[in-house]
Amino acid sequence: MNDEESLDCAINEPVAIYSYNDAWPLLFEQERARLLRFFPSDFLAIEHIGSTAVPGLSAKPVIDIMAGVESMLCADVLMELLCQAKYTTSMEFNASLVGRRWLMRWADGRRTHHLHLMVYGSKEWQERLVFRNMLRASAKTALLYEQIKQAWAVEFSLDREAYTAAKGAFIQATRQYNANQPPSLTCHLGHHMKSVIQEEISGCGIAASAALAGVGYAQAKAIANAVGIHAEDPKLWSETTHVRKLLQAMGLSASPEEAPFESWERLPDKALLAIRWRIEQGKPFWHWVVFVRENGEATVLDSKKALATNVRRDFWRMKPKWYISVH
């Protein structure tokens, strides 16, 4: 194919996730050296960002590079020069961006590099470094991100912008959860388990799953939506398949069947517990809570916002119907 055909193929390339490639850091270093050779005094810093910058993380095989400049005016001046240095760009797409400019390199009909020009030290700059460093520091967060990216890549394989927007919701929720956890919404239990408040009336399953996975509600909701689970969907209120599917998407496993509640002492160390079980209009309904036993101490984490405390030990008040063991 000629260069024009190659570029057209790269622009319309489907979204696909590949296993981590040990060559990705080297490809970044090579392009960083090339940029500094062409522009020795224009960039204040050049960083490897995105999933290819996280060891072991599956990703689209495109090297994301963030280059820091003094101002967006400097970025605009560089655009034409970068296009002369084997990059291309979209003025229409750049017009939709805030605080950055985007360019792309390609070869053989595939994208190879994305270059993001930003003001060095700006909010946009810091946000991307913070998320990259979170993924590098937390294998759990990286695994969750990988799993939902794979789900979104299937759903949005031909819609790159929708895929990027879906990722954005998870990225923002992850940054907020790690940067500022309001004490009124989260209660620590030892070092492993936290209660998570449901942010939707019918979101107890999402909140309970979030507590078990150790993530915030917004993160869990983003993952749930990615695999087709929505709290407001009434079809999901009277069955348990969706919560198992969500736990699996978070890297956890659950028993395939519900087990009848016999006693608190006979519960496993971690379980989803159905309380307030009742029949309404011929259908069963219940409220999900998390049972956890740590160092021999049993506790129930209840996501209901109106409670004085979401860490409960008033076992005599709760009347569980059945439970699902979680590993």
How confident is the model over 108-150, as pLDDT tens digits?
A: 999 999 999 999 999 999 999 999 999 998 888 898 899 888 8
- Considering only residues 250 and 203, tell me which one the structure prediction assigns the higher pLDDT: 203
Contact 101, 87 (CB under 8 A): no
Q: Across-strand partners of 271?
A: 291, 325
Q: What is the mean pLDDT of residues 185-210?
A: 74
Reported as a pLDDT band with limits 50, 70 and 90, residue 92 is very high
Percentage of the chain modeled with pLDDT above 90: 62
Reported as a pLDDT band with limits 50, 70 and 90, residue 191 is very low
Cα 52 to its chain centre, rounded Å, is: 15
Reported as a pLDDT band with limits 50, 70 and 90, residue 56 is very high
Cα distance between residue 218 and residue 173, in whole Å: 5
pLDDT of 239 reads 86
Residue with tokens 């489907």: 14
Cα distance between residue 110 and residue 103, in whole Å: 14
Reported as a pLDDT band with limits 50, 70 and 90, residue 236 is confident
Contact 321, 285 (CB under 8 A): no
pLDDT of 185 reads 32
Cα distance between residue 287 and residue 312, in whole Å: 14
Beta-carbon-side half-sphere exposure of residue 189 (alpha carbons within 13 Å): 25
Amino acid at 201: I
Q: Kindly give the pairing relationship between strand 193-196 and strand 186-189.
A: antiparallel
Q: What is the mean pLDDT of residues 273-288?
A: 91
Per-residue pLDDT of 98-113, as tens digits, reads: 899 999 999 999 999 9
Contact 94, 142 (CB under 8 A): no
Whole-model pTM: value is 0.71
Between vectors from CA 175 to CA 170 and to CA 179, what angle results, nearest 5°? Answer: 150
Distances (CA, A) of 119 to 69, 83, 130: 5, 19, 16
Q: What is the mean pLDDT of residues 218-226?
A: 84
pLDDT of 179 reads 65
Cα distance between residue 274 and residue 291, in whole Å: 10
Amino acid at 53: A
- For residue 195, is pLDDT > 70? yes
- For residue 281, is pLDDT > 90? no
